[in-house]
Amino acid sequence: MKIAIIGAGNMGGSIAQGLCIGQLIPTANITVSDLDTAKLNALEIKYPDIHTTSDNEAAAETADIVILAVKPWLVDTVLKKLDLSKKQILVSIAAGISFEQLAHAVIEPEMPMFRVIPNTAISELESLNAIATRNVTKEQETLILSIFNEMGTSIVLPEDKLSAATALASCGIAYVLKYIQAAMQAGVEMGIRPEDAMNMVAQSVKGAAELILKNDTHPSIEIDKVTTPGGITIRGINELEHAGFASAIIRAMKASQ
């Protein structure tokens, strides 16, 4: 199984790293294409067995799976130069580019296609991957799910739900990081060293996520466990509510659709 990744930017590079760390696809079976040789060289240094090139067509020619990881406004231009066949599987990472648009840009409009919306945690095998399918067999769906499940957790959705999933999981990771940054700044103001504050907050976020993911519970239940009547946590929670914290998160998510 050979995979070509077209684009070595933040997302393409993260996917390449995730695939190399994983065990499912041998690193020697991965080719990454990009015009930026510095990005390719960085990948080669970390993963000597990976193949790199600045020729998109050459990268895609012998690949079983082509992962398109270029900016949305480049999708049409890049795809029209690739001679993709029905025997190949196209996986588009480009947010907002529909299957209909992809079909108009390829030589074989009925080829198997997936739209995948990951986040940058895919480089650490911790991404939430929202996936939609078009013209695929059950075996092809199972294959792509196995690849992306190794790099995190995947969920198959109708295409019209991908924009909401993008806001929650792809854009959403930036909002979580913004919370970590803000809480870290508070820690520094209270006298904690920046590195210690960052680690403390990041571990708290990780712990909160694990409580939700590994237990049959709900955020409200877990909040109730730590908000002692008259205690310090409920004071902080109420300050967040007074400042419109929940409303700001909801508005940010909806703005990201």
Domain ranges for the chain: 3-157, 165-255
Residue 257 has pLDDT above 90, yes or no: no
What is the rounded CA–CA span in Å between residue 223 and residue 236? 12
For the entire predicted model, the pTM comes to 0.90
pLDDT tens column, 5-26: 999 999 999 999 999 999 999 9
Q: How confident is the model at residue 53 (pLDDT cuts 50, 70, 90)?
A: very high
| Helix, strand, coil percentages in the chain from 3-state DSSP, rounded to 5 | 55, 15, 30
pLDDT tens column, 169-192: 999 999 999 999 999 999 999 999
> Tell me, which fold does domain 165-255 have in CATH?
ProC C-terminal domain-like fold (1.10.3730)
What is the rounded CA–CA span in Å between residue 254 and residue 23? 37
Residue 115 has pLDDT above 90, yes or no: yes
Tokens of 183: 């809480």
CB 9 within 8 A of CB 69: yes
pLDDT tens column, 61-104: 999 999 999 999 999 999 999 999 999 999 999 999 999 999 99
Report the chain's C-alpha Rg in angstroms.
21
pLDDT at 85: 93
- Do domains 3-157 and 165-255 share one topology? The answer is no
Q: How confident is the model at residue 150 (pLDDT cuts 50, 70, 90)?
A: very high
Query: Tokens 């009925």 map to which residue?
Result: 110
Average pLDDT, the chain: 96
pLDDT-above-70 percentage for the chain: 100
Q: Is the dihedral of CA 153, 4, 174, 121 positive or negative?
A: positive
Kindly state the average pLDDT of the residues 220-236.
96
CATH superfamily of domain region 3-157: NAD(P)-binding Rossmann-like Domain (3.40.50.720)
pLDDT-above-90 percentage for the chain: 99
